[in-house]
């Protein structure tokens, strides 16, 4: 796998994780517009010219994703929401 494919995969994973987490929250708090916008972003990733993307760009996307997940952490720790992927991991 070349570097541009690796970059695309890393971005796809970040967006996919955000979609999965938001979909889990969405079960409790209906807001399909945000999920729809992230799904559009997921499709747009395929059209990106990854030769213009650097490792630093990818790291910023990953750090932003981690920061967002950190914001949701407290909400999931309360137990108000179920697991994102079907069951809790121990």
Could you give the CA distance from residue 18 to residue 66 in angstroms, rounded to a whole number? Answer: 10
Count: domains in the chain: 1
Average pLDDT of the chain, as a whole number: 80
Paired tokens of 33: 């517009």
Asked, for residue 66, whether it belongs to a domain, the answer is: yes
Helices (DSSP H) in the chain: which residue ranges? 3-26, 32-45, 55-77
CB contact set of 20 (below 8 Å; sequence gap of 6+): 84, 85
Asked, for residue 44, whether it belongs to a domain, the answer is: yes
Q: What is the pLDDT of residue 72?
A: 80
Could you give the CA distance from residue 80 to residue 9 in angstroms, rounded to a whole number? Answer: 31
Name which residue leads in pLDDT, 13 or 48: 13
Rounded to an integer, the average pLDDT of 76-80 is 76
Asked, for residue 85, whether it belongs to a domain, the answer is: no
Asked, for residue 84, whether it belongs to a domain, the answer is: no
Rounded to an integer, the average pLDDT of 67-90 is 74
pTM of the full predicted structure? Answer: 0.71
Asked, for residue 86, whether it belongs to a domain, the answer is: no
Segments forming the whole domain that contains residue 42? 3-77
**Residues, the chain:** 90
């Amino acid at each position: 796998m070349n570097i541009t494919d690796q970059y695309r995969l890393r971005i796809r994973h970040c967006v996919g994780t955000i979609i999965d987490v938001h979909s889990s929250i969405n079960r409790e708090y209906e807001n399909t517009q945000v999920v729809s916008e992230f799904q559009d972003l997921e499709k747009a990733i395929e059209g990106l010219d990854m030769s213009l993307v650097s490792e630093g760009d990818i790291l910023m996307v990953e750090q932003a994703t981690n920061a967002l997940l950190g914001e949701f952490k407290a909400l999931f720790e309360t137990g108000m929401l179920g697991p994102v992927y079907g069951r809790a991991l121990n």
